[in-house]
Amino acid sequence: MKSPPASPRGFFAIGIEGVSKAVNLGNLLRSAHAFGASFAFTIGADPRVMDTIADTSRASSHIPLYHWQSVEELRLPRGCRLVGIELLDEAVELPAFPHPLQAAYVLGPERGVLSAGVTARCHHLVRIPTAFSLNVATAGAIVMYDRLRSLGRFASRPVAGGSLPEPVTEHVQGGPRRRKRLI
């Protein structure tokens, strides 16, 4: 079995605003655990969801899960950028989005959109280029995969179909850098 590639630098979190289905939260937690999220969160979740999370990987035992009642309560680590995932005309399409090293991705609720309060707090708005909205847990998994693919150390994809990728070059640590002292 091949060992997994080195983790990308930085950290990320993923969350849902207004989640109302335990299965969706459970699926998102499982994917967050698998993709190496630092934490997960909810904003304004239906309280019944918290009692019946369908989390088959027990992700909440491995990554912190935070619950905030409102966007005003939301607290992120210093330097962490809030990235809203929503089908909005003004949003950047995911394949063209440069992921921040420190990011918290927030998805809109089932059968709804991100609230104006959450959208206003977002540093970036991103859309998955689809004809219509996806299941919230599926959308979250796509965003996490895109982050891993763009920030991880993977071989470049070959241009021609059926070609083999070039091997990843080994990272070489440079020597120490000496800095001039400012007087």
Considering only CA atoms, which of 77, 72, 25, 32 is closest in space to residue 51?
A: 25
Considering only CA atoms, which of 180, 148, 153 is closest in space to residue 167?
A: 153
pLDDT value, residue 51: 66
pTM of the entire predicted model: 0.84
pLDDT value, residue 6: 56
The tokens 């859309």 sit on which residue? 127
Question: Quick check: 66 and 175 in contact, CB under 8 A?
Answer: no
Q: What phi, psi does 115 have (nearest 5°)?
A: -70, 160
**pLDDT tens across 1-58, in order?**
555 555 677 999 999 999 988 888 889 999 999 999 999 999 998 888 776 566 667 7
Look at residue 66 and tell me whether its pLDDT is greater than 90: yes
Q: What phi, psi does 104 have (nearest 5°)?
A: -125, 115
pLDDT value, residue 91: 95
List the beta bridge partners of residue 81. 103
**pLDDT tens across 87-108, in order?**
999 999 999 999 999 999 999 9
- Strand order across the beta sheet in which 65-68 lies: 65-68, 39-43, 11-17, 102-107, 81-85, 124-127, 92-93
Element (H, E) at 90: none
Question: Quick check: 43 and 74 in contact, CB under 8 A?
Answer: yes
The C-alpha atoms of residue 175 and residue 155 are separated, in whole angstroms, by 25
Torsion sign (Cα): 119, 120, 123, 129: positive
